[in-house]
A = this chain, B = another copy of it.
């Protein structure tokens, strides 16, 4: 049933050799107008189109890029995936979406991507532990890797990220200017170096503004429920007088979860009793029901850069891009 026409068959039909058929499908190849016409006619009749698999094998390039994702709870992934696939497709590349989870970890995924001969791997919001990687890399031959929207912990693996230091400086300056003085910071995965780095910057900039103490909240993952739970446990254990006046959350999902909890369970007002700041500028942050102050990552530019590196137009190196503070009613 699913037998496809091959170049050889088209060649026979057109009365030429299979190499001439291939030339007809190779832009810029040396071929006479006349034979090209004949070939294309025969090809159309037989419904022939070149087999990219065979081509990939011969050229040693699949034009496929593996995209590793491990956190589907953050709806912000979706616009990133949209832009990423669009940009890759514009380069003639295609994304192989790989779900990293407990059944299929980074090592499996990388091995698999490697066996599939992908041209590159994008670690989108995930990262290898570097020890894990060094085990694998000794046998030279993993495809080139790039980290998107997260710091690279691995020597020689470039990352394209939003400048967290700058972002946190802008946020802290904004909050300080608005008069907040008792800040808190909620992380989603306390073990993550990225998370620690952000909290560090946050604390640092407050210190520069004369505020030494930062309340620390931690959710155990990046979900609305976890954000709600973290803020609940904090508010239950903290007397009203000791509470933070502004809570910075590591991403919007935590922030939205926290806002719900603050308002409906504790009956507190935002921003009068507690202000809230998120990170990502997820679409719903702008809704009047939340109106969350947040920070927008320069998604288009980030993806343009990472795809440029993969396509070989840009030097592969870590790039840090500036985002935008989006001030709304939650602060």
Contacts and interface: CB of A to CB of B under 8 A. Distances in A.
A49 B256 contact: no
Contact of A103 (B86, B263, B284): B86
Number of identical monomers bound together in the oligomeric complex: 2
A99 B75 contact: no
Contact residue range for chain A? 35 or more
Interface stretch (A1-9, A181-189, A192-200, A296-304): A1-9
A64 interface: yes
A3 B114 CA distance: 12
A79 to B, nearest CB: 6
A257 B67 CA distance: 31
Contacts of A96: 64, 94-97
Interface in A262-315: 263-264, 283-284, 287-290
B141 A2 contact: yes
A133 to B, nearest CB: 14
A115 interface: yes
A157 interface: no
A115 B288 contact: no
Contact of A101 (B46, B51, B86): B86
A319 interface: no
A314 to B, nearest CB: 19
Contacts of A49: 111, 114-115
A48 to B, nearest CB: 8
Interface stretch (A33-41, A54-62, A167-175, A239-247): A54-62
Nearest to A63: B116
B72 A94 contact: no
A82 to B, nearest CB: 4
Contacts of A139: 46-47
B140 A116 contact: no
B287 A256 contact: yes
B57 A53 contact: yes
A90 interface: yes
A117 interface: yes
A190 interface: no
A113 to B, nearest CB: 9
B82 A89 contact: no
B81 A89 contact: no
B57 A86 contact: no
B47 A287 contact: no
A50 interface: yes
A99 B104 contact: no
Contact of A78 (B72, B98, B224, B260): B72
A85 B99 contact: yes
Given A47-B141, A263-B288, A97 B81 contact: yes
Which one of A112, A141, A259, A264 has the highest number of Cβ atoms from chain B below 10 Å of its Cβ? Answer: A141
Give the top 6 A-B pairs by smallest Cβ distance, nearest first: A47-B139, A72-B82, A85-B99, A264-B288, A75-B75, A289-B289
Given A90-B103, A94-B98, 5 more contacts: A3-B141, A4-B141, A54-B57, A77-B78, A289-B290
